Structure 1
C-alpha cells in the first residue's frame, strides 16, 4: 500500500481570510480564480483553465449537484459564509491556519478568531509589513521619527498578537533588498511624504526607504526568532517575475545577523520551484512553502512541484499551504490535493528506493502539519470555542 496521508490534519502555513459577502453570479465568481486584471480573462477565459474546472467538479460532488456553474453557486449560496467554511474545512481536516491579514481588506473579511471558530481549528496571524510601514509614513513628520515608529512596531510582535511577518516587497521593488546610504533613504522618505501630501496616502514603492525599513524588520525578526514570509514568484502582473526569483534573496540568507529569522518562500516560488528547493537545501533558515491552491495550476503541474521540492530539499524545510483567499473553497480543495499529490510524489521516492515507506509517511506528516506547527508556535494559539 502507498503513502496514505488522508487522515493527516493539515496546518495551512499561508492563507488569507474569507470575504463576508460572496459573489453568486457566474461572471463575478470566476474572477476569484485568476490573477489577471484583464476583463475578458476574468469573465471568460478562466472558465477553461484546468484549475477552475477541477474546482467546479469537486464542488459539485461536495454539494451533490450537477457541475453547471449555476447549480454549484446556488448550492453554496444556500448557507451563510461561516457555515459554508465550517462544512468545507471540517471535510478538509484543517488543524490550524496561518493567516496573512493584509488581504482581503479586513473591513470586508472574517476576523482571525471568526475563521478559527468557523473551521473548528486554531489560527494565528502575520503582520504584513508594507501596509504597516505605509501607515507609519502617514504619521511620521521626519525620517528619524519614522525609524523610531518602525522599531517600536516590530520590537515585540508576539505581545501584539502576531506570530510572524509577511512581506510583499516582491510586488513593490523586487526581492533584492539592498542597503542604502542615509542620504538616499532620507530622499526616498521625502518622496514618499510628497506623495502623502498630494493624495493623502502612499504606496511604498520607494526602494531606498522600503529596503531600509525592511532591514529594521529583519533585525527584529532575527532577534525574536520569528518567521518572515516573502511573496515569491507567481502573482498578478504587478509583480515583475524578473525581480521575484528567490535567488534574489541570497544576500539576506548570507547575512549572519539574520540567521535567527526563518525565511519562508511562498507560492512554491513558482515557476522557480527548483531555485527555492536549492535555497532550502543549503541555508539553515530557508523554508519552502508548497501551495496547492494558488498558483492556479493543474494537478499535473502541482505534482511536478511536489517532486522537485521533495527531490532536492529536506522534508524538514517544506510546509504545506493553500494561499486560499476570499472564498473557502480554495482552502478546502487545496488540503485534499496537497495530501493526494504529496502522497503520490512520496510513493515515487519509495518506488525508486530513496525512502522507505515509514520515512515517506513521516515526511508527508512533517510537510502537511508538523513543520509549520513548530515554526509558528501554534501550541500557543487558543483553541476555538
Structure 2
C-alpha cells in the first residue's frame, strides 16, 4: 500500500532516556505516578510489538531491553531503520514546532530515503516577524508568508490551541488587523493568540488557495478539547467552500464521525485520523472504520502526525495498513485496492498537487 504521510513532524535527533521516551508516548505533560510506566498503554504495547523487530529484538520485549537497544544503536541508526521500514514515499512535514530538536527536511529525507515537503505553520511565521509595526503587520506577514511558502505543499493553523475552532468565520478588516497587531506588540509579542490576528492568518492562506490544515480533536493539555470539535467550524466552511482552498481536518478523534459528516457535506473538506491510530493501537481498525462511515473515500487521507520518536512514523504506517486491511476485508479485491490507493496516496497527490 503506497503511502504519503500528509501531516507529520520530524524525528528527534538526540538520544532519549527512559523518562524522555515515555513522555513522548502520551499527550500528557506530566509523568505517570511512581512505579507506573508510559509503556502501559495501547501505544506502548504497539511500540514493543511492531518496532522492536525493526531494531533487531523479539516482539513484545521488555521495555528496558527495548530502550537499551535503542541507546546501543544510536539515534541516527534508529531513525534510519524505523523511517525506512514505514515505506512512506512522501512526508509532508510541519516544521513550525520545536524545530531545533527534530530532523530538518533534508536530514529527514536522507534518513527515510523519501521525499519531504514542508507544511508552513501560519502562527510560527507570524511570531517570527522581525521589526514589524502595527500598521505594517499585514504587509509584512504577506511578504514573509510568500517566502516561507515557496516550495511548500500547504499551510497549517493551530487556532484550536490558541482560541478554539469556534472562531469568527469572517475575514477581519485591515483596520481590525492593525488594531489587533498593536495590542499584540504592546504585550511584548507573546504567543500569538489574538482572535483577530488568527483569523487574518487563516484567511491569508485561504486567499492563496491553500490547502490549509487545521488541528482538530485531541492533543496536549494546552488544548480545550470541547473547543476542538470540527463542527464548530461549520460557518467557516460555508464561507470558504467556493474560495478554491481545500480544508484538511487533522486527527479529529474523538470527533472523527463529525469530521466524516463535514467531509461528505462540503466539497472542499478532507480528514484524517492521524495521531489517533497510534494512540489507540489495537483498536485502530475500529477508529478507522468509524471515520469511513460517512466520509467519501476520495476525502480521506493518511497521516501519522508523528512527532519525536521515529517509532511513531513507523507505527502510523503499520497500524494504518493493518486497520485498512481489516476494514476493507468485506469489499471486493478491486474496490479495496482502488480505495487503498486513494486514501494511502492518491488523495494527497491531488489535494496538494504533488
Pair in the same fold by TM > 0.5: yes
In 2, distance between residues paired with 1:145 and 1:262?
A: 28
Q: Counterpart in 2 of 1:29? A: 21
User: Does the CA-based 8 Å contact 1:294-1:324 persist in structure 2?
Assistant: no
User: Does the CA-based 8 Å contact 1:234-1:295 persist in structure 2?
Assistant: no
Query: Kindly tell me: are residues 154 and 27 of structure 1, through their superposed partners in 2, closer, same or farther at Cα, counting changes over 3 Å?
Result: closer
Query: Kindly tell me: are residues 12 and 213 of structure 1, through their superposed partners in 2, closer, same or farther at Cα, counting changes over 3 Å?
Result: closer
Q: Counterpart in 2 of 1:376? A: 352
Q: Show structure 1 runs of 5+ residues with no match.
A: 1-7, 351-355, 379-385
Q: Counterpart in 1 of 2:261? A: 278
Query: Kindly tell me: are residues 43 and 31 of structure 1, through their superposed partners in 2, closer, same or farther at Cα, counting changes over 3 Å?
Result: farther
Q: Counterpart in 2 of 1:330? A: 312
Q: Counterpart in 2 of 1:61? A: 53
Residue of 9, 13, 17 corresponding to 1:16: 9
> Higher helix fraction: Structure 1 or Structure 2?
1
Q: Counterpart in 2 of 1:381? A: none
User: Does the CA-based 8 Å contact 2:43-2:278 persist in structure 1?
Assistant: no
1:87 is aligned to 2:75: no
Deviations 1:325-358 (A, max 9, x none): 111111111111100101111114x2xxxxx331
> Alignment partner of 2:190: what SS?
coil
Q: Aligned runs of 1:217-366 on 2, under 5 Å? A: 217-220=205-208, 222=209, 226-256=210-240, 259-267=243-251, 269-291=252-274, 296-300=279-283, 302-348=284-330, 350=331, 356-366=332-342
How many Å apart are 1:93 and its aligned residue?
A: 1.3
In 2, distance between residues paired with 1:286 and 1:148?
A: 29
How many Å apart are 1:296 and its aligned residue?
A: 1.6
Deviations 1:232-282 (A, max 9, x none): 011011111121111122122212575311111001x11001110011111
In 2, distance between residues paired with 1:288 and 1:43?
A: 38
User: Does the CA-based 8 Å contact 1:186-1:209 persist in structure 2?
Assistant: no
User: Does the CA-based 8 Å contact 2:42-2:280 persist in structure 1?
Assistant: yes
In 2, distance between residues paired with 1:189 and 1:90?
A: 44
Count of equivalent residues:
350
User: Does the CA-based 8 Å contact 2:21-2:309 persist in structure 1?
Assistant: no
> Alignment partner of 2:73: what SS?
coil
1:101 is aligned to 2:80: no
User: Does the CA-based 8 Å contact 1:26-1:69 persist in structure 2?
Assistant: no
TM-score by length of 2: 0.91
Residue of 123, 134, 147 corresponding to 1:130: 123
How many Å apart are 1:294 and its aligned residue?
A: 6.1
In 2, distance between residues paired with 1:115 and 1:78?
A: 21
Q: Aligned runs of 1:115-264 on 2, under 5 Å? A: 115-136=108-129, 138-142=130-134, 144-155=135-146, 158=149, 160-178=150-168, 179=170, 180=172, 184-196=176-188, 201-220=189-208, 222=209, 226-256=210-240, 259-264=243-248
User: Does the CA-based 8 Å contact 1:34-1:42 persist in structure 2?
Assistant: no
How many Å apart are 1:298 and its aligned residue?
A: 3.0
User: Does the CA-based 8 Å contact 2:122-2:201 persist in structure 1?
Assistant: no
> Alignment partner of 2:217: what SS?
coil
In 1, distance between residues paired with 2:155 and 2:301?
A: 16
How many Å apart are 1:172 and its aligned residue?
A: 0.4
TM-score by length of 1: 0.84
